[in-house]
Amino acid sequence: MKIKYRWLLAGALCCGCLLGNAGTMEASAAAIPMRGVVEGFYGTPWTQTDRLATLKFMQQQGLNMYIYAPKDDPYHREKWREPYPEAELQSLKALIREARRDGVQFVFAISPGLDMRFAGKAGEEDLAALLTKFDSLYAAGVRQFAIFFDDIRNKDGQSQAAVWNAVNQRFIHKKTGVKPLLAVPTEYFSEDMVTKDGVKPYTKAVASLLDKDILVMYTGYGVVCEGISLADITKVEQIYGRKMAVWWNYPVSDYRRGKLALGPVTGMEAGAGEHMAAFLLNPMEHAAMSRLTLATGADYAADPAAYEPEASWEKAIGAQYGELAPAMRIFASHSQRMENNWAHVGRPDAPDVRAHMDAFWQAAGTGKEGKLAGNVLLQDFQQMKEAAKTLQAKLPERPKAESQPQLQLFTQLADAGENVVFMVQAKQDGQARIAELFYQKLLRQSQALPKDESVLISEKTAGAFVQEGLTWREHHK
C-alpha cells in the first residue's frame, strides 16, 4: 500500500499547518506501529493551543501517538504525587477528547524518579500515590500510561522493575481498555547499558525482571546521536527481549536552546525500522517550527524503507509554507545541525554555501578565479538577506515569533559575510585603504553578534566565515 497525499494549500494558519493544510497520509503496510510525538523536553511546556494544533497536525500526517511528558510540568515530575488542579485537569481532558477525535492515542506519562521511595511502608505509600494519580487520569479519559525513570541518579533496577510490574499488574491489566505500559529506564541509551565486560547491572536487572508486555523506550547509542543503526537496535532488542520503542531526540533543542532544528530525520539505517515498536520524536519548545521535522518523521515512520530525507524535507517545506517555501528553504538549510560536546545529530548547515566559502578561500589571491568565487558567495549572502526579509514580513504570527531572533542573526551574518568578501577582494586589488574600511565595518559587525549561545544559526557556515575573515585580515595586514 503506497503513501497517499492530498495537498490543499491555503493562505492562512489553520489545522496545525503554517500556511496550508497538509492533507492526510496513509501509512504503508511496513509502517512502524506506533509513531508520533513525545512532548518530553526541558524548558517552557507547550501551550494548550500548541498541543491542540499539534494533535490536528499529527492526524493529517498519519501520526497516531502523543505522549504527554513535559519535564517542567510540576505535576508530571516534581509534584508527581499531587493531583492536577481542576483547571489543569480540564485542559488535559480537552486534549484527550481532541486526540480521540483525531485518531491519536493520548499517553499520560509520569516521572517520579527524583524522590520516589521504593522500600517498606514509604515505598507502598508512593506506589499507592502513583496508582491514585493514574486513576484520576483514567477517569479523565486516558487509556495508555507511561512511567519514566530517566535523568535521575537512582539506579536500583530491581526496585524500578518492581514498580513497573506492580503498576502493570494492579492497574494496566485491571482497567478496561488500557493499552500496554511504556517505560523509560535510567540507562536509556545503549552506550550507557553496556561496558566492555557486558551488560551493566542496572540494565541487566530491568531487562530480566520487567514484564514482557511493557514497552521500553531508548534513544539510540547516545542521548542525542547521529542515527539508529541496525546493529545497535538489534543489540538492545536482544538485551530486553522485545522490540524497542525509539525516543528520537530531534528536533528537540533544550540542550542548545538558541538554535532551531529545522532539518529532516536522518541517520536511520536500512532495516532498523523493522525492529521499532514505536518511533516518537521529541520536539522543540517551539511547536510551530518543530513541524518541518515532525512531517519528515511521519514519512519515515509510515514507510522506513522508502524514506528519503531530502525529498521528505522539500515536500514538508512546500506543504507548510506555500509561497514562502523558497525563503524558508534557504533559512532552514542553515539551521539543521545540532551539536555540542555530547550531542551530534542532523545534517550539516547549508553545505552548498560552505563549499562556496571553502572555494573562495582556496581561490583567494588568484585574480579572476578568486573574483568569481567571491561573486558566487555574494549571491549566497544576498539570497540569505532576501529570505530573512521575506519571512520577517510574511510569516504568520506564531512561527515568526519563534524564529525572530534567528532571522535577525541570519541577516547580521549575511551582512558581515558580504564585507568579508569585499575586504578580501579590495586587498587583492591593491586597494588597501578601502580594504581597511571594510575591515573596520566587519569588526563592528562581529562585535554586535551574540557573545553567547542565546541565539544560534549556521555556526560552522555563515558564523564561521565571519571569524575566518577576521583571521585572514590578521595574516594579511
Do 36 and 276 form a contact (C-beta atoms < 8 A)?
A: no
Which cell is 225 given?
546521536
- Cβ contacts of residue 194 below 8 Å, gap of 6+? 200, 203, 235, 239
- Quick check: is 151 catalytic? yes
Q: 72, 151, 211, 254: which one is catalytic?
A: 151
Q: List strand residue ranges (DSSP E) for 170-228, in order.
A: 182-184, 194-195, 198-199, 215-218
**Residue indicated by cell numbers 485542559:** 91
Distances (CA, A) of 61 to 17, 78, 281, 286, 344: 10, 33, 13, 18, 27
Cα angle 71, 76, 80 (rounded to 5 degrees) comes to: 130
What does the alpha-carbon distance between residue 74 and residue 187 come to, in Å, rounded to a whole number? Answer: 23
Do 250 and 226 form a contact (C-beta atoms < 8 A)?
A: no
Distances (CA, A) of 11 to 17, 280, 389: 10, 30, 19
Nearest to 297 by CA among 70, 102, 21, 38: 38
Q: Angle of helix 230-240 relative to helix 201-209, nearest 10 degrees?
A: 60
Do 423 and 435 form a contact (C-beta atoms < 8 A)?
A: yes
Known catalytic residues are: 151
